[in-house]
Amino acid sequence: MSEQSIGRWKADFLEAGKTALTAGRSGSSTREQQLEAEVEDLTQALGEAAVELRAWKECAEGRLVPSRTSR
């Protein structure tokens, strides 16, 4: 590796850091907002799956009778 390559990588790294810090001051980026929405959706889906699994387990143990619409 040459000193020139290392110098270029360092300059690129520092510039990207400045850009990231500036973006951080202005609030969440669009990508961060998308990821937060996806996390919220996945958390909700996981909760719903956990409730359904619990109902199926209770049904299998004879503590709950499934509805006719359950599959």
pLDDT tens track for 25-57: 666 678 888 999 999 999 999 999 999 999 999
Eight-state DSSP code of residue 60: H
pLDDT at residue 23 tops 90? no
Residues 1-16, mean pLDDT to the nearest whole number = 92
Q: Which two tokens stand for residue 71?
A: 């599959």
pTM: 0.48
The yes-or-no verdict on residue 71 having pLDDT over 60 is no
- HSE (side-chain half, CA atoms, 13 Å) at 13: 6
Average pLDDT of the segment spanning 61-67? 71
Place of tokens 């909700």: 44
Per-residue buried b or exposed e for 30-58, using 16+ beta carbons within 10 Å of the residue's own CB: eeeeeeeeeeeeeeeeeeeeeeeeeeeee
